[in-house]
Chain A
């Protein structure tokens, strides 16, 4: 088992090194003639006004919150799904109940308008 994760570790290093190396080599080969106009922030030819790291619509945050609930739920459901074949019927019903509780929360978020994009 540990050997598997060693392979993943080696693969991750290789996967990071490969694009990094290509970008580095291309950086040596490519010309470098920076000038202030070329390096300015691109905004369709107009000079940018104010800070570029602007405020973001709150909607993104709401969706991220809803997503978080489902992501945690998925982590809890995967072990249940793996063991599903071996579970007795009452354990399956319990898993469904767990999902139903989540569905109630989901419906609440829906009714409250958290899922509307305006």
Chain B
């Protein structure tokens, strides 16, 4: 019965018990148990990517009115496996003049940075890699580690496109880290802890997306930018930069960047589900831990599905639009949001939780509405004045002037 209620926790307990019975010194049992846990979690995450690639290709195919992979295995589910086998036997081509150390380190670091995120994410009540007391800060910091791998790849490749792509990518990632970190402050304020499991437990009565929808929206947009997905995929724009930072990579080194990207996309969805959608919280999750895992996966897949919808439907941003959205919309909004939430939270402290949540919700909606109005205002002002921002409009008006049919 214990096994059915919490299979993961049961296996972990049995395993550590068995290790303890072997008669090893006390310190070693701990280290071996931790090593096994890390190995299982990391391997599981890497193998999970195979499924993610299939899921995403199938969905994108459906959005574009195609079948997607449907030949290898039932519904094409083994297509990524076949691709992996193929890429495994491909030659490594190292360009002349490449910085060998940086060039070879980059794909390893890219995957390692994403895998490391999994070490603090709580999968259910009992299954947490480790419950760090600075968990959320750790997530942000390790997310920043991935940027290093991209600049290493771009710099080490000795290629102009790669360098340009890497610089764009780093500019985008560090820019969007600002609203990401600032909007992550809001759940920390509401929960009063940085521990990821603590944040999940604080959402028992109400999810943070209800109390702070604006923060959730900023966090979500910034997360999509962090994984470099469309509409923020100008960093590996195939049509301008031929691929960006990974242009000189081949074989499995290239594959590793792909694994990192897909796994990062899923992990970021999981972080969103954990921080704003209540993680493993749900009816009966505290008593039956395996239910918590199911809830978390469901929520994560909903978020992941939305990011894929974004990818399938939105066109790519230009670099100045990308920068403007971040620095002139998201960053001021998140700053205003933190200040407003702090003051409102301080004033309504005596009220019951229900009214406090209502107050937070109103502040969030008010700020979102104000941002929307301001954006409309600046847009209409821009179209009136003759800023050098609209080269396309100029081209269009001059071409109609000289048009033959007029």
Contact = CB atoms under 8 A, between A and B. Distances in A.
Interface stretch (B7-15, B153-161, B377-385): B153-161
A92 B346 contact: yes
B20 interface: no
Given A8-B119, A27-B92, A39-B95, A115 B252 contact: no
Contacts of A8: 116, 119-120, 130, 132, 138
B282 to A, nearest CB: 25
Nearest to B338: A99
A43 B116 contact: no
Given A84-B189, A92-B346, A26 B88 contact: yes
A33 B137 CA distance: 46
B42 A15 contact: yes
B248 interface: yes
A16 B112 contact: yes
Interface string A60-98: 100110110011001001100111111101001101100
Given A41-B95, A115-B328, A82 B192 contact: yes
A23 to B, nearest CB: 5
Interface in B332-379: 332, 335, 338-339, 342-343, 345-347
A117 B43 contact: no
Interface of B: 30-31, 34-35, 37-39, 41-43, 46, 87-97, 104, 107-113, 115-116, 119-120, 129-133, 137-138, 155, 158-161, 163, 167, 170-171, 174-175, 177-178, 181-182, 185, 188-189, 192-194, 242, 247-248, 251-253, 256, 259, 319-320, 323-324, 327-328, 331-332, 335, 338-339, 342-343, 345-347
Interface of A: 1, 3-8, 10-12, 14-16, 18-20, 22-23, 26-27, 29-34, 36, 38-44, 48, 52-54, 56-57, 60, 63-64, 66-67, 70-71, 74, 77-78, 81-87, 89, 92-93, 95-96, 99-100, 102-103, 106, 110, 115-118
Given A41-B159, A77-B338, A82-B192, 19 more contacts: A10-B34, A12-B112, A19-B112, A19-B256, A22-B252, A22-B256, A26-B88, A31-B91, A40-B96, A41-B95, A60-B170, A64-B174, A81-B185, A82-B188, A82-B194, A85-B189, A106-B335, A115-B323, A117-B319
5 contacts: A8-B138, A11-B115, A19-B112, A30-B88, A41-B96
Q: A-B pairs with the 6 shortest C-beta distances?
A: A15-B115, A117-B320, A26-B252, A19-B111, A85-B192, A15-B112
